Structure 1
Amino acid sequence: MKRALLFIFIALLAILPWLAGSDYYTNLASQALIAALFALSLNLLVGYAGLTSLGHAGFLGLAAYSSAWLMLNLQWDQASAAAAALAGSTVVAGVFGLIALRASGIGFLMITLALGQILWGIAYRWASVTGGDNGLSGISRPHPFGFDLGPASHFYYFTLLVFLLVWAVVALWVRSPFGASIRGTRDQPRRMSALGFNVWLIRWITFTISGFFGAVAGLMYVYYQQFISPHSLALANSAEMLLMVIAGGPATLAGPVVGAALVVLLKNIASGYIDRWIMLLGFVFLFIVLFVPNGIVPGVAKLWQRWQQRRRHKEERA
């Protein structure tokens, strides 16, 4: 059943530009995939490691700014700028992990919030490098193997390819023995430590890898927007991505994708018909918390299991 749903999901994504019928909805789908990429990276911390972060947008913005600045000011090519941005963001994630993992729970949350605000402050105040409020613009999209990513459908398929690759890597990673150890540090850190596992090191590696995938989302973000501003590093962006993970279902592979699609659709479609669409978004999340507290994907899976059990009971009685 899961394999069939996965095949249908990928098939729908593959033909989506034809189903959309316009560049607007194709671009909207690209936005949703980029948001899902970022939510997947955050889910490694929130869902699998049990570490809630409010500064994760810093990695997205850092990679985007680094790549844009290298291309605009040093005239680096796309590949070199992307590689340097990913490497630099991963190193920063490792350093931030050393600082943030000195605490857990609320302490970890507040440290990540502070670190994220530091990056936002640098982007906002260091106008000679970041452009300040005006940001950096005029960024060109890459041309992999001479393929033009200017048209909406071309960029969508490029984003889809990156998304599926990251999704597959994350799926293999969380289902590996190391992924099991990550969940163990979330559920029973003392027992894992008693069994000889280095809980701090496992969490630090997860934090760093999460930052790397957040940087990948940052590159896709700046390629799509062709513009970057301090807003990308703001607290509101981190909180929005956290809501995507919680709404879809943490510690699941499909949850962040569903949550990202829900938020992006509400922001871009509902806002066109409802003036106070943020209130609608609040009601949607309130409904999720009250009726499916574990998220949409686990909630739907639970309903499906109940329906299957009831059907079996009826067949047995018949």
Structure 2
Amino acid sequence: MSPRILPFIMVLAAMAMVPLVSTSPFYVNLTSQVAIAAIGALGLNVLVGHAGLNSLGFAVFPGLTAYLVAWLSTVGGFDPVPAALLAIGGTLAASMLFALVALRTTGLGFVMITMALCQIVWGAAYRWTSVTGGDNGLSGVPRPGGAVLPLERPEWFLWLCLCVLALALLQLGRFFDSPLGVALRGTRDQPRRMSAVGYDVWRIRFVAWMLAAGWGAAAGLLYAWYHQFVSPHMMAVTASAEVLLMVVAGGAGTLAGPLIGAALVVLLKNLASIWIDRWMMLLGVTFVVIVLLMPDGIVPGLGRLTAWLRRFRPAPAPALVPRERTDG
């Protein structure tokens, strides 16, 4: 077992044990929210941390999937599992079309185009009342259930979310270490040089875009099953900015950063709001402190802090080598 995998296994195991140590479904549901947010943040991290494409329209992927599965399940009459497969397929098909527009530029232009796409889809969800329910959204989204996999129970749904999260960590970890992942980081750092040596920069970025869309769609599917309700709010620009904050706060380009950022945001939203009325101010102050003290995020900042502390560790005493006796 690789030492790098062990911390993730320990964290996932601790999250899976929450239903066994807590009698309140509140903490079980809270852990499910953290897992769903972490899946979405891992997807956005492919674009932000490894492709160098900062997006303010990521909420399109989970939002579109959530609306598709909600409409297919409640209006179309499909069973939850076929509706989920069709919803993810529809989101990936739409993402291909979005990529033709968004990947024509980088930098600030990419940010503006993704935000515009997000606003277009949000506007359609808000105004197309006959299909999306408008501001009232779509409710009553069914979860898959049954004697074998009773997902209507909070603990079983949490374990499903953790299985998807573990799959995301495994797949993205292997992708980032693969030659394609290395080439993706090359397009981030030196796109002209990568193009000059024969790499198709657009296609590499397209793969990253579709990978982000796929995990965003998985997060949107779990979101719809968790809340059993979908509204245009989940496709607003503020929702995209929230996921971006998770990635940046935890550490873009790292595998653990999105998990830590997602846990931080979800816990502050759900726990701090119980005790503090102006919890949004606390959330803002927290991120300001993170940016000031750890500009690259929590995970890289802790790594630098650990390396700095190791400099003050006393050096081991040199081993005493016995001298050889010489006669005469």
TM-score (norm: length of structure 1): 0.96
Q: Distance in 2 between matches of 1:209 and 1:4?
A: 25
Residues 55 and 112 in structure 1, CA contact (< 8 A), matched pair in contact too: yes
Matched residue type, 1:72: T
Match of 2:138 in 1: 136
Which segment drifts farther, 148-157 or 116-125?
148-157
Distance in 2 of aligned mates of 1:77 and 1:11: 31
CA distance in 2, matches of 1:240, 1:280: 14
CA spacing shift, 1:316–1:105, aligned 2, 3 Å: farther
* Structure that is richer in helix per residue: 1
5, 8, 19: which one aligns with 1:6 = 8
**Where in structure 2 are there 5+ consecutive unaligned residues?**
320-328
Aligned to 1:124: 126
SS in 2 for 1:314: coil
Question: Post-superposition shift, 1:316?
Answer: 5.5
Structure 1's 167 and 144: CA in aligned 2 closer, same or farther, altered over 3 A?
A: farther
| Alpha-carbon distance between aligned partners in 1 of 2:250 and 2:211, rounded to the nearest angstrom | 21
Match of 2:270 among 250, 268, 271: 268
Report if the CA contact (8 A) 1:93-1:212 is conserved. Answer: no
Whole-Å separation in 2 of the counterparts to 1:196 and 1:254 = 32
Counterpart in the other structure of 2:190: 188
CA 1:21 to 1:308, structure 2 compared with 1: closer, same or farther past 3 Å?
farther
Helix, strand or coil for the counterpart of 1:92? helix
- Deviation for aligned residue 1:235: 0.7
Aligned match of 1:225: 227
The equivalent of 2:325 in structure 1 is none
Structure of higher CA gyration radius: 2
Instruction: Determine the C-alpha separation between the residues in 1 that align with 2:147 and 2:290.
Output: 44
- In the TM superposition, residue 12 of structure 1 has moved relative to its aligned partner by 1.2
Q: CA deviation at 1:204?
A: 1.4
Instruction: Give how far 1:258 is off.
Output: 0.3
Tell me if structure 2 keeps the 8 A contact 1:90–1:209: no
Report the Cα offset of residue 317 of structure 1.
8.5
Q: Does the 8 Å contact 1:123/1:130 carry over to 2?
A: yes
- 2:324 aligns to what? none
1:136-215 pair list within 5 angstroms: 136-143=138-145, 146-215=148-217
Indicate the larger mover: 28-37 or 164-173: 164-173
Work out whether residues 134 and 229 of structure 1, in 8 Å CA contact, stay in contact via their aligned partners in 2. yes
- Rounded to whole Å, the distance in 2 between the matches of 1:107 and 1:7 is 39
Partner of 1:113: 115
How many Å apart are 1:144 and its aligned residue? 6.8
% identity of equivalent residues:
50
Contact 1:116–1:233 (CA<8 Å) still a contact in 2? yes
Give 2:272's aligned amino acid: A
Correspondence list, 1:232-243, <5 A? 232-243=234-245
**What whole-Å deviation, never above 9, does each CA across 1:260-284 have from its counterpart, x for those lacking one?**
0000000000011111111111111
Aligned to 2:316: 315
- 2:17: which partner in 1? 15
Equivalent position to 1:34, from 19, 28, 36: 36
Amino acid at match of 1:13: M
8 Å Cα contact 2:250/2:261 also seen in 1: yes
The 3 A distance-change label for structure 1 pair 89 and 145 is farther
Provide the TM-score with structure 2 as the length reference.
Answer: 0.93
